[in-house]
Structure 1
Amino acid sequence: MKLRTYVLVVYALFSASFISSQTTDSVANKIADAFNELSNFRTFDNIYLQTNKDIYETEEDLWFKAYILDAHYFTPSVRDHVLVVQLINEDTQRTIWKEKYEILDGFVNGHVYIPSTIEFGNYTLMAFTSHSFYKDSNSFFSFRTISIVDKIDKSVKSGTDDPEKSVLHEFTLFPEGGDLISGIEHNLAFKATDKAGIPLEVSGKLFENNQAILDFETKHAGMGSFSFRFNKSNVYKIKLDQDSTESYDIPKIKLKGKSLQLVSQDEHEAIFKIAKNNYSEVDTVYLRLQSRGTVYSVAAMALKNQGFVKIPLKDIPQGIAEVTLLNQNFQPIAERLIYVKPNQKLYIETTLDASEYKTREKIKLSIKVHDQYNAPVIATLGLSVVDQLYKNKHDPKTIMSHYYLSSQLKGAIYDPNYYFNPENEDRQHALNLLLLTQGWRRYVWSENELHSLSKSDYKIIPDPLEGIVYAKQKSRNKTPTHPFVIVYSGVEQSDTYFLETNFANRFELNHEQLKLGKRGFIFLKPVGDSESEYRINIHDISFDSINHYRKSQAAYYPIIKETKTNNDANTAFFEYDSTQKLDEVILRKRKERAYRDKYLGRLDSLATVVIPDCVCEYNIVNCINHCPQKQETYSEEELLKMFNLTMIKGFYGKREFYSPTYEAQTPEDDFPDYRNTLIWKPDIITDTLGEAEIEFFCSDIFGNFNVTIEGVGQNGLLGSETLDFIVRKKY
């Protein structure tokens, strides 16, 4: 990929000079090509999970939509066809659900059933593809936390009784650009948190040679910064007002070097100051800007003491960009992150046809999507309308916070949605503090991070699956013929595939074959000449590999902002007069099914015919002592071996969300309707005007309901919107 932008202005103060355009063009392309090649060692998918709600009860359906987007451009990825999903208990780490889902055009509309036997508590819904999770990845972000409770009024309230909460645990200092250089004014950022990672507001003083010379305080979420010209010959300490007995050393001061500082930034451009403390000679330096692994601009400067570089931001997409100062040998010597175009997003406007509704009344929801220039956008959206009791409004995970922040920076980010709310007038300054502290050398697309990744292919999830056919000749004088594999589901009138094997008798099982076994299994049977015996060896190790490698990798989920909970606002379940209560319910255990798959059940009935009658040496038919006995039932393993079959689980079948209509009265309308999710529609696509309209009906539950819409535009823009409405009792 070539350099995207090279229209830069270099200002000179004191002594700086320009380099010829021919030289700078060739050097700029060389720098850009080297980095782009580095970022293309791996192709990444970035997965976001949207769920219909945050709190579930047992025997409910968990509906989810998976966005599998290209990590470079945030457009739907078509690299993979298989999404591996697990639901894991956070306390026990026990997997209670694991299935494979088919990816269609970069999306999955999936479903998980929560059984009655599940333990109550917090769970993690995880999703992976072969291009989203590697053996040598340092962390992963593609998951969502949910809570499973006995009853909604018994759900766990926010807060903690940890005695170490609100006690300073970590105070860290971060020089802008990476290092403090003696004699050059620097921004020194800082961050204060408790043991749980919750930010703390602190204030303090900078001491030079035991004399207080500067006061500072936090500005947002435990973060702040101050500017000072440090000198290596002096001794510096920091003391906080909250604990004057403890002192903190500042980072090491380098005697010589160069610094990088952001002077100003707006929607159109960013201006940087580059300075050095050695004036004896002129050095050639380069300033590179890259975002998500793509270089967008490179500037060259002949630097004697200090100069300014203006970088246009017109062609750079929203999100984090890394600005790196390189020396004449193209080695990084200073770097910092900036956030570009926070207003460049998908704007989702929603309109309800009324401000409040009655139970079982129809609702019309109009949706209009446009970009920052008010141009309509064709977008793929997911919609959920749910009783507010089942939503955690303080959960900071949204499609924007996930793609623009959480998956770009290492570590758990506190209240990331603050930075996307235009009502927060200081959000640009707060973003700058976040990137100066948490983003300090922790950007996932940084050169250091990309260098740490091997060029080798370290995929964990095989897509497609690979198998091999082993052939054994019955006769020594005959060589087995080249085998092939029959793939079918065992369901009548279903498709059948015939797979060829290569010279080593290997074959591939792809997503088209896995579709045969939706909500069931597919069967593989080797076929060759009658004079040879064939066996198939194929194993799907996806889940075992994921569980093995994820234990050694950090999982980062945004930290929820602490809020006071009004317990009175959480009402219990509604109970209706029409509900009939039973005095007693007797449950009887059903006889367990011998087989999960119907096809194996049919094979079991055929197995008794396969074994012929036997007469032993004493002329006793089917002698129990000398003849093989016909079994009433056979195990799966016995049946598969008997018919020379290999069984593989297919994709989990797609299910449709049930939403009743009450326009025409039917006998079914007399039954209570206790849906707390009124509508789950993960497949909304706006038209060329960016519009869509959805209709659905209220249930018998009245109270406050929440509407959540998230999605991605065909141009890679992301957006999220919420609104609330009230449902009142009809009678």
Structure 2
Amino acid sequence: MFKNLTPIVVLLLFVFSATAQSIENYVADQPNGQIQKLYLHTDREFYFWGDTLWFSAYLVNGQNHTYFADSLNMHVELIDKEGEIVRKELLMVVNGFSKGYLSFNDNTLEEGNYLLRAYTDFMQVQQPENLFNKTITISAVKNKFPEDKAEDIGSKVYIDFLPEGGILLNEKINRVAFKAYNRLGKSVDVKGTLFTMSGKKVADIESSFQGLGVLFFKSQAGEKYKIELDDDRQVSLNIPEVSEIGSKLALSLVKKNGIQLRVESTEADDRPAYLVCMHRGMVNNYIEIPGSEKDKLVDLKNDVLSTGINRLVLVNSDLQPVSERLYFKTTQDEFVNIEVSPNKEEYSTREEIELDLKSETKLTKGELARVSMTVINKDLLLKNGNAQTIQSYLLLDSELNGPVDNAAAFFKDSENIESAEKLDLLMLTSGWSSYSWNNLKSVEEMPEIAGAGLQFKGKVRKLVTQKPFADTDVLLNIIGKEGSVLFNGKTNETGDFLFDNVEYFDTALVIIQGLNNKDKRYTNLELAYPGQETFEVSEKELDHLGDREIVSVGMYRQKYQNELKLSEFYPDRNTRILEEIKVVRSKSEFDDGHYRPYPSPSHSIQVEDWHSSYVDVFQFIKGRFPNVWVTGDHVRMRGTGSIYASTEPLYLLDGFTVQKDVIKNIPMVQIDKVEVIKGPFAAILGMNGANGVISILTRTEVSDNYTNQLIAGTFVKRINGFQKYREFYSPRYTVASDSEIPDYRQTLYWNPAMLVDDKSQNVSFFSCDNLANYKIFVEGITTTGKICIGEADFVVNKRNLESF
């Protein structure tokens, strides 16, 4: 009989104890684990140079998929095939949701596959397998393609045999799944015959889906096997040894009201065994299996099983696991179908498209679906469509260690194999050891994780004796495009200080000063955590970067033609298409990597290393620029609209307007150039520039050691803060606002955050200048943890001549 243990939330880690008195005590003694799941819905999976990747982030409790309520840091990274992080952004997840983007607006990225990785600070202390990973492809724009190479059928194939239940039992008809792949780990289809080494035929072998398949054969202890493929490729076969003694689980039958399992043993045992049923780290139920007979049948009802991966464990009378089986239950319990209805099936270019969205599934009272939607050119899809969806990630990728090739395809019926059979093949070939809930840390082992914001911590020592400086002031100054913020802190009795949950956007100049009791910076400052640390990229994560087929040649040609037309419309557009076509601009005198909102300064002075002895930039300016007078920190200029300007000039920091006190607080060691702008060039900045402009251009990087040597007790570094979100560009075309600017959006529309219920929600946007078939994808999660999926199609097949 079943024992319901729903009040007990446990993670079954099999640490064996000889003192356990009962199965109840054994289950209750298992540690409780926690897991977060983070999913990024991207607008697509294939991009060209110059494109932008848009994403919505969903952070949920791993066990029930409800939104994680706290505010946390989220790190989003783009990783190349060598494991190098080539893009990194910091975002804030609030109430389980965030949105952002990555720009590929240069051609410094090599063509190929990249790993899009995302994680919270909490997820860093879990296994690397729990971090979100997704493969995306970035390509150059081109109109020439290499000839397709025929597959080398003479290359070696690797085939792993994975017996159901984990072991091959002697003299038993074993169900054995197999996985076939090439030397790069990419799945390959196979067809052939299994023989004994003496040449006796054992069984036919043929893969059913993505190199996966199953066969039945009676194994013999000590027997060796080989495979001969019909296409004569060489095979490296990995098959476990046959066990003469043991017990195992096997799936016997799938019924409408549940499943039937078979417990197979090589010998009878009078003692009872137990079948433990787990789901997402929780032991919900177990059943006692009476002893005596070798083989027994066990029925599990649907109410014992949950949607997704169920882990079934056979435990012997000594409370040791002897066999495991993963079973995937496909029901609609945790799904909401989002109905997407375009107002037409066919449209013209630059025509308004209206969509109605509503939940086809009845929602509970107060339940809402938070979803994101992308509308993309269908030619941007790979052969099998998107390789990952919110459904495949939450139910497969995040539950199994290691990459699952084209996980989304397992949820679609194919011509020769249904989704349920595909999923069971995956359960057999992934194996229970790949189940990500197996080895999570218990709650007691998890370190305390701070909330959202950057953390700066360190120690202040006395300059001469190097003893900790207790109870002294520490100043943190954040200088950004929108001004500066000053934080005051103190060291504790051991000289340590901490600024926690510091929030700012974009890149900012971070200045930390440890003062002595006389408010002077004659101290030694040690900073342990200057901003964001880098989390190491594991080899398992790089396994996701396998070969992928490219999009259609038609997509490349359309993109190529679009770029040519844009170059004609923008003659100075700094774009390169193919090696034969180049648009080059001459480098100006001041093209030194700094952003300037003015074409050229009236005077510019390079700040040298020895200038760091100046107290501030105003002392540095004094006497260096003609017709510029400095008294203390008051500046006035001659020749700025009056004989002597009576008011202060405009102050710029890296091209952005700031207050004077921001300029005053910047250490000279951080300044690269000081420029003065007067006359017509200052007028470009409007009335604010009428009294002249003082422009401060900072260094892009200064080493910590170098800074500390120049300014005792001071840390100076430019550090990225939280990403400042920008909106997706979606023009609206009317008769009055029609534009001649070419519009060739590949992502036609992106909406990162919508709330949907069982009443229709209207969304509208305009088509662009491309004739194409379009695909709508909607993904999200309800407030109660149900997965939301929706799709629709339409076509733009006519040109609107009035607007084209």
The equivalent of 2:649 in structure 1 is none
The answer to whether the 8 A contact 1:210-1:236 is kept is no
Structure 1 residue corresponding to 2:766, chosen from 680, 697, 719 = 697
Summarize the alignment of residues 361-510 of structure 1 with structure 2, pairs less than 5 Å apart: 361-371=351-361, 378-392=368-382, 394=384, 395-422=386-413, 426-439=418-431, 441-446=433-438, 449-450=439-440, 455=445, 465-472=455-462, 481-489=471-479, 496-499=486-489, 501-510=491-500
Closer, same or farther: CA 565–202 of 1 in aligned 2, 3 Å: farther
1:376 positional shift: 9.6
Q: 1:176 aligns with which of 152, 158, 164?
A: 164
Q: CA deviation at 1:240?
A: 3.0
Q: What does residue 49 of structure 1 align with?
A: 40
Q: Secondary structure at the residue paired with 2:781? A: strand
Does residue 655 of the first structure (1) align with residue 726 of the second (2)? yes
Aligned to 2:244: 255
1:121-160 superposed matches below 5 A: 121-122=111-112, 123-134=114-125, 137=127, 139=129, 142-151=132-141, 153=143
Q: Which residue of 2 aligns with 1:100?
A: 90
Q: How does 1:159-558 map to 2 (within 5 A)?
A: 161=149, 164=152, 167-196=155-184, 197-207=186-196, 211-212=200-201, 214-232=203-221, 235=223, 237-242=225-230, 243=232, 251-266=240-255, 268-279=257-268, 281-305=269-293, 306-314=295-303, 316-344=305-333, 345-371=335-361, 378-392=368-382, 394=384, 395-422=386-413, 426-439=418-431, 441-446=433-438, 449-450=439-440, 455=445, 465-472=455-462, 481-489=471-479, 496-499=486-489, 501-511=491-501, 513-514=502-503, 516-526=504-514, 529-530=517-518, 533-534=522-523, 536-540=525-529, 545-546=534-535, 549-557=536-544
CA deviations 1:124-183 (Å, max 9, x no partner) are: 32222222234x8364662333333332656x79x9748546845112212111112234
For residue 110 of structure 1, report the CA deviation from its aligned partner. 0.8
Q: Are residue 32 (structure 1) and residue 35 (structure 2) matched?
A: no
2:796 equivalent to 1:722: no
Q: Which ranges in structure 2 are unaligned for 5 or more consecutive residues?
A: 9-19, 573-582, 598-605, 624-667, 675-697
Quote the offset at 1:612 in angstroms.
Answer: 11
Alignment identity in percent?
20
> What is the SS of the residue equivalent to 1:283?
coil
CA distance in 2, matches of 1:559, 1:363: 37
Partner of 2:13: none
Q: Provide the C-alpha distance between the structure 1 equivalents of 2:235 and 2:618, rounded to a whole number of angstroms.
A: 84
CA pair 661-494 structure 1, distance change in 2 beyond 3 A:
farther
Preserved contact between residue 473 and residue 531 of structure 1 (Cα < 8 Å): no
Q: Is the 8 A contact 2:382 2:550 kept in 1?
A: no
Residues 336 and 441, structure 1, Cα contact 8 Å, conserved in 2: no
What's the TM-score, normalizing by structure 2?
A: 0.73
Deviation at 1:335, TM superposition (A): 0.6
Taking the aligned partners of 1:477 and 1:271, their CA distance within structure 2 comes to 71
Looking at structure 2, the residues matched to 611 and 215 of structure 1 have their Cα atoms a distance apart, in angstroms, of: 85
Q: Which residue of 2 aligns with 1:609?
A: 618
Separation in 1, partners of 2:214, 2:328: 17
Confirm whether residue 88 of structure 1 aligns to residue 76 of structure 2.
no
Aligned twin of 2:665: none
Distance, in Å, in 2 between the alignment partners of 1:342 and 1:153 is 46
1:349 partner SS: strand
Task: Show structure 1 runs of 5+ residues with no match.
Answer: 7-24, 615-627
Provide the rounded CA distance (Å) in 1 between the counterparts of 2:167 and 2:409.
29
- TM-superposed CA distance for 1:560, in Å, is 7.4
Q: Report the Cα distance in structure 2 between the residues aligned to 1:398 and 1:478, rounded to whole angstroms.
A: 53
User: Could you tell me how far apart the structure 1 residues matched to 2:305 and 2:790 are?
Assistant: 24
| Equivalent AA in structure 2 for residue 609 of structure 1 | F
* Correspondent of 1:669 among 739, 758, 774: 739
Shift of 1:542: 7.7
> Once structures 1 and 2 are overlaid, which stretch shifts more, 486-495 or 98-107?
486-495
Maintained 8 Å contact 1:285/1:301: yes
> Given the superposition, is the C-alpha separation of residues 58 and 419 from structure 1 closer, same or farther in structure 2, using an over 3 Å criterion?
closer
Structure 1 residue 109: deviation in Å?
Answer: 0.8
**1:328/1:224 CA distance change after superposition, 3 Å:** same
Change (3 A) 1:524 1:160: farther
TM-score normalised by structure 1 residue count: 0.79
Partners of 1:28 and 1:375 lie apart in 2 by 40
Question: How many pairs were matched up?
Answer: 678
Q: 1:332 to 1:408 in 2, by over 3 A?
A: same
The 10-residue stretch of structure 1 (432-441 or 530-539) with the greater mean CA deviation from structure 2: 530-539
Amino acid at match of 2:6: R
Q: Secondary structure at the match of 2:723?
A: coil
Using the TM superposition, give the Cα deviation of residue 367 of structure 1 relative to its aligned residue in structure 2, in angstroms: 1.3
User: Do the aligned partners of 1:200 and 1:222 also contact (CA within 8 Å) in 2?
Assistant: yes
Gap change, CA 1:563 and 1:60, over 3 Å in 2: closer
Secondary structure of the residue aligned to 1:177 is helix
Residue 592 (str. 1) matches residue 584 (str. 2): no
**Local SS of the residue matching 1:320:** strand
Measured in 2, the distance between the counterparts of 1:246 and 1:117 equals 41
DSSP-derived class of the 1:418 partner: helix
**Distance in 1 between the 2:119 and 2:596 partners?**
26
Partner of 1:14: none
Displacement after TM superposition at 1:73 (Å): 2.6
Q: Spell out, residue by residue over 1:427-463, the C-alpha distance to the aligned partner (whole angstroms, 9 max, x if none).
A: 21222122112335322223xx448999575999997
1:64 to 55, 59, 62: 55
Moved more, 380-389 or 567-576: 567-576
CA spacing shift, 1:475–1:672, aligned 2, 3 Å: same
Moved more, 218-227 or 380-389: 218-227
Range that drifts further, 195-204 or 521-530:
521-530
- Tell me if structure 1 keeps the 8 A contact 2:73–2:452: no
Indicate how the Cα distance of structure 1 residues 517 and 525 shifts in structure 2: closer, same or farther if over 3 A, else same. farther
Q: 1:491 to 1:151 in 2, by over 3 A?
A: closer
Deviation at 1:31, TM superposition (A): 3.7
Shift of 1:498: 3.9
Q: Deviations over 1:386-432 (max 9, x none)?
A: 23344435341222222222232234333322321256662212221
Task: After superposition, give the CA deviation of every residue in 1:651-709 in whole Å (9 maximum; x if it has no partner).
Answer: 1211112222223613x62333333322211111214x364321111222332222222
SS in 1 for 2:100: strand
- The 1:528–1:314 alpha-carbon spacing in structure 2 relative to 1, beyond 3 Å, is farther
SS at match of 1:62: strand
Shift of the 314–359 alpha-carbon distance from structure 1 to 2, 3 Å rule, reads same
Amino acid at match of 2:106: S
